[in-house]
Chain A
Amino acid sequence: MRIACLVKPVPDPEHYDRISVSPNGTLVRAGIPIVMNPSDRNALEEALKIKERRGGDVTVFSMAPDDAEGVLREAVAMGADHAILLSDRNFAGADTLATSYVLAKALERFGPFDLILAGNESADSSTSQVPSQVGVWLSIPALTGVAEIEHNESLTVRCSSEGGRAVYEVDLPVILAVKRGINSPRYTSFAGIIRANKTEIKIVRAEDLGSDASMTGLEGSPTKTLKTSVLDICRKGEYVEGDAGDIADRIINELRKAGALRE
């Protein structure tokens, strides 16, 4: 079983309240560390579990600048066999369509894979679009919101839906986008870290992929961001401290004023 796992390095979601926008309109996120996108960690865990049961190998792919190598090394330390970083100046500024095109090109180039796993959404842009769109480029089916993968003769996949879970039987190859609740990702082991330091992170450029420049990066992106701004959601608040009974009275008063207390 050849398994691919798509991983996105993102600014650590714990620190998004530190993001600001400079006067010329660019995002300032200095000092926020780059980490593996949380649900991608679950996708990798699921890939490793399937590999352990069924044999095969796991290759992680990431489209990111060269400095994202650390995230791929961490994936190897968790247990991935191969890591491929798709990094090229021409890939920069890509929206989901252009990103999925590059990832699909790489999956073709280093494939074929029986199963492709990805996190359901990224913490930074949260679009949940890339896995399905990779599926379209590769002409393979995709399911998102995956909460459980059962691997018997075929693949039984449970997808979160309003009010429950939809159960699907799927043929391979398939691409699945998994939710965070699907498993608890393992930690990196000491042996894993040693191995990761010895493993080559393969850096692949546009020319190695044979990607069409008009389909990648800013040029290949049908959407264009005109302007970004920090959403001001601050209120004029009042601090309250002191006796619990007084605080309780105050809360009840405020709820009454807001018409939220049915008496």
Chain B
Amino acid sequence: MRRNLLVFAEHRDGKPLRVGLEILSKARELADERDFDLCALILTDRVDDAEALSRYGADLICVGTDESFGHYGHGFIDTTLDVVRELGPYAFIIGATALGSMLAPEVAAHLRTGLAAHVIDYRWDEDLIQVVPSFGGRVAAEIVTRTTPRMSTVKPGTFSMIERRGRGELKSVKVRKPEQDRIRFEGFERIEPKGRPIEDAGVVVVGGGGVESEKDWGMLKELAELLNGALGCTRPVADRSWSDEEHMVGTSGKIVKPAAYIGIGVSGSAHHTCGMKDSGIVIAINRDRNAPIFDTADLRIVADYRDVLPALLTKLRDLKKQA
């Protein structure tokens, strides 16, 4: 086996999740710099087109399909361990989805290897440098791992998808599953999202703890709609019922990079700004001139949103009518 990097490419309903393709894209660059192979691992109940991963640079695509892989269970851990032991990858990267976040620490502990969490950048030095955020993104730490494989997780939206051909050889994986799993999947309860997803929106309006009432939240909703954007929130709002964690921006929420970000009543804790710092233009409205969000903003509007929003909404409605 040539020296290689391995990426876990999670699938859902037969299709790869974006995060896996984002990681493959970044890993392809890293593999090229060291003349490594790039391997992908698919464990799923169903895969429509495994070879498609070669478009994002995969040289070898290991596929294990089994009905038990429709949801998390210990078969994931055992099968992944077999693959890692066989391929002996230099590094193994997993998307920090719900499933990936359960799988990665288990696999790392079984292999007694290090696991860097939520990497925001990789770089080759003598070894692979993994840059991770800490203290809610206030601090960046450069981490090296002294054991093999160097394991890490990456949050969705961290890297861009770049098409690059890999050899795309397929290899099937022997599926392992425990005779009796001590955790048994009983079903999946869908939850209707509270509004449009924020990950892909061109404009993201974010309401923070300074938004005082649900009625005011309605103004933010209308603003997001008029701008064809999505409405996100910070932790204090996610803790109320107006929004939810699916729409939370930041370290324990989502990473967004819209063309325009508008923060309303957002104080700007490190946990939040870490998730929006790469946005295009950043507009912040806050009564407090010293709010930390202003450090990260291009347009720092020191005002009460209850004065600004009605004026802004009226003008945007007029613009829409004219169009």
Residues of A within 8 A of B (CB): 11, 13-14, 16-17, 19, 21, 27, 95-97, 100, 121, 123-130, 132-133, 135-137, 140-145, 156, 158-171, 174, 179-181, 221-231, 233-241, 244-245, 247-252, 254-255, 257-263
Contact = CB atoms under 8 A, between A and B. Distances in A.
A166 B186 CA distance: 8
Interface stretch (B24-32, B34-42, B53-61, B98-106): B98-106
Contacts of A247: 301, 303, 308, 311-312
Nearest to A144: B102
A260 B259 contact: yes
Given A143-B183, A247-B301, A252 B315 contact: yes
A258 B323 contact: no
The binding surface of chain B is classed by DSSP as mixed
B269 A238 contact: no
Interface stretch (B84-92, B137-145, B160-168, B212-220): B137-145
B319 interface: yes
B139 A166 contact: no
Given A16-B138, A97-B108, A171 B182 contact: yes
A252 B101 contact: no
Interface string B293-307: 011111111110001
B189 interface: yes
Nearest to A143: B183
Nearest to B228: A262
A222 B108 CA distance: 10
Contacts of A258: 259-260, 280-281
Contacts of A235: 282, 295-298
Given A167-B185, A244-B310, A247-B308, A136 B106 contact: yes
Among all A-B residue pairs, the 3 with the closest Cβ atoms:
A222-B114, A223-B114, A260-B260
B298 A164 contact: no
A27 B134 CA distance: 11
Interface of B: 12, 71-72, 74, 97-99, 101-102, 104-106, 108-110, 112-118, 129, 133-147, 181-191, 193, 202-203, 227-229, 238-239, 245, 251-252, 258-260, 262, 268-271, 273-274, 277, 280-283, 289, 292, 294-303, 307-308, 310-312, 314-316, 319, 323
Nearest to B120: A231
B189 A241 contact: no
Contacts of B245: 160, 179, 181
Contacts of A19: 135, 138-139
A248 B105 contact: no
Contacts of B184: 168-170
Contacts of B133: 126, 231
A145 B308 CA distance: 38
Contacts, number: 278
Contacts of A158: 189
A238 B299 contact: yes
B98 A96 contact: no
Given A96-B115, A163-B191, A164-B190, A133 B302 contact: no
A245 B311 contact: yes
Contact of A144 (B101, B193, B315): B101
A132 B106 contact: yes
Contacts of A136: 105-106, 109-110
B139 A165 contact: no
B115 A145 contact: no
8 contacts: A16-B270, A125-B134, A143-B183, A166-B98, A170-B182, A238-B300, A247-B308, A261-B227
Contact of B185 (A132, A168, A224, A252): A168
B113 to A, nearest CB: 6
Nearest to B110: A136
A219 B190 CA distance: 44
Nearest to B147: A222
B191 to A, nearest CB: 5
B297 A237 contact: yes
Nearest to A137: B109
A133 B299 contact: no
A249 B108 CA distance: 53
